[in-house]
């Protein structure tokens, strides 16, 4: 854990030195002055390297003291806080939904493609200017934006067929009744979050649908065979 911030700060010292920045101690100032005199006498690049080395040593010394005084966790926390984003509130979600509607209208038939929401949304985004919005926080809006009417209709057709088989087996199995409740809960959750864009959640939904439609499908196959 210590090596990562130290490596970063080591590179920072080289950058600072290359730009001619940083504070220099009195001894280093004398060294820099001697280097200037050496350059006037034809010292050339070797003199400039000596001055750069003096700046590097000075900055490294101060950073070493800072690492001793400040705990490593505090350093990591300060750098990590730069990448933190604000929590998505209810008002922010509503604004994201409003900004998504024009994007759906512009790509109504075929959508922007699966996984293309974040890039395509940049043209329509008026919310959270300092945040990256990669999900619509509404599965239905995002699938409609990415798949368009054609893909969204096909997905609804598959889901509708599964619900039809679940309804046929509802009276015969308590397991199917429980599965219907689970599907309803996941559907409600998808109204305010990117639930089905989490692979584990999508797999759970697929498993529930398969388990719940199995009884009615099995009975239908038996009736056909007889």
Instruction: Give the pTM.
Output: 0.58
Specify the residue for token string 């010394």. Answer: 61
How much is the mean pLDDT over the chain?
75
Assess whether 48 and 140 both reside in one domain. Answer: no
pLDDT at site 223:
58
Is 202 a residue whose pLDDT tops 90?
Answer: yes
Structural domain for 19, as ranges: 3-83
**Last residue in a domain, options 27, 59, 83:** 83
Assess whether 37 and 100 both reside in one domain. Answer: no
pLDDT at site 17:
44
Closest by CA to 100, choosing from 132, 143, 154, is 143
Lowest-pLDDT range of 24-28, 48-52, 139-143, 202-206: 24-28
Two tokens at 190? 């998808």
When divided into structural domains, the chain yields a total of 2
pLDDT at site 188:
95
pLDDT at site 214:
85
220, 213 in Cβ contact below 8 A? no
pLDDT at site 68:
61
pLDDT at site 159:
93
Distances in whole angstroms, Cα of residue 4 to Cα of each of 21, 60, 78, 206 = 23, 15, 14, 42
DSSP character string of 2-49: -HHHHHHHHHHHHHHHHTT-S---HHHHHHHHHHHHHHHTT-THHHHH
> What tens digit of pLDDT does each residue of 33-47 get?
444 444 444 444 454
**Last residue in a domain, options 83, 117, 145:** 83
Assess whether 220 and 145 both reside in one domain. Answer: yes
Assess whether 160 and 216 both reside in one domain. Answer: yes
- Of residues 66 and 41, more confidence is placed in 66
Specify the residue for token string 């005199």. Answer: 37
Assess whether 43 and 119 both reside in one domain. Answer: no
Number of helices and strands in the chain (H, E)? 9, 0
Q: What's the mean pLDDT in 188-197?
A: 94
pLDDT at site 194:
93
Two tokens at 36? 């200037």
How would you label 12-31 residue by residue, b for 16+ Cβ within 10 Å and e otherwise? ebeebbeeeebebeeebeeb
Distance CA 188, CA 183 (A): 9
Assess whether 67 and 114 both reside in one domain. Answer: no
pLDDT at site 96:
94
2, 64 in Cβ contact below 8 A? no
> What tens digit of pLDDT does each residue of 124-165 get?
999 888 788 999 999 999 999 999 999 999 999 999 999 998
Lowest-pLDDT range of 56-60, 75-79, 201-205, 210-214: 75-79
Q: pLDDT tier at 26 (50, 70, 90 boundaries)?
A: very low
**Last residue in a domain, options 44, 64, 83:** 83
- Of residues 104 and 63, more confidence is placed in 104
Assess whether 24 and 132 both reside in one domain. Answer: no
pLDDT at site 59:
67
Q: What's the mean pLDDT in 41-60?
A: 61
Assess whether 93 and 131 both reside in one domain. Answer: yes
pLDDT at site 54:
73
Assess whether 73 and 152 both reside in one domain. Answer: no
Assess whether 168 and 95 both reside in one domain. Answer: yes
Assess whether 208 and 127 both reside in one domain. Answer: yes
Distance CA 22, CA 10 (A): 14
Specify the residue for token string 């999900």. Answer: 135
pLDDT at site 88:
65
35, 43 in Cβ contact below 8 A? yes
Distance CA 75, CA 123 (A): 36
Assess whether 121 and 104 both reside in one domain. Answer: yes
For the beta carbon of residue 137, count every other beta carbon within 10 angstroms.
Answer: 21
């Amino acid at each position: 854990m210590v090596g990562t911030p130290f490596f970063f700060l080591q590179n920072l010292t080289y950058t600072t030195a290359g730009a001619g920045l940083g504070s220099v101690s009195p001894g280093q100032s004398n060294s820099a002055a001697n280097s200037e005199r050496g350059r006037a006498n034809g010292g050339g690049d070797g003199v400039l390297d000596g001055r750069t080395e003096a700046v590097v040593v000075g900055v490294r010394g101060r950073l070493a003291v800072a690492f001793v005084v400040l705990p490593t966790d505090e350093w990591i926390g300060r750098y990590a806080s730069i990448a933190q984003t604000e929590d998505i509130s209810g008002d922010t979600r509503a604004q994201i939904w409003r900004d998504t509607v024009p994007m759906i209208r512009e790509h109504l038939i075929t959508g922007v493609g699966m996984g293309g929401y974040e890039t395509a949304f940049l043209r329509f985004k008026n919310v959270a200017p300092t945040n990256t919005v990669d999900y619509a926080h509404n599965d239905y809006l995002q699938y409609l934006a990415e798949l368009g009417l054609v893909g969204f209709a096909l997905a609804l057709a598959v889901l509708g067929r599964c619900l039809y088989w679940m309804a046929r087996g509802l009276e015969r199995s308590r397991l199917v009744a429980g599965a219907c409740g689970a599907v309803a809960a996941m559907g409600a959750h998808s109204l305010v979050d990117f639930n089905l864009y989490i692979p584990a959640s999508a797999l759970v939904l697929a498993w529930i649908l398969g388990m719940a439609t199995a009884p009615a499908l099995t009975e239908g196959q038996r009736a056909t065979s007889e």
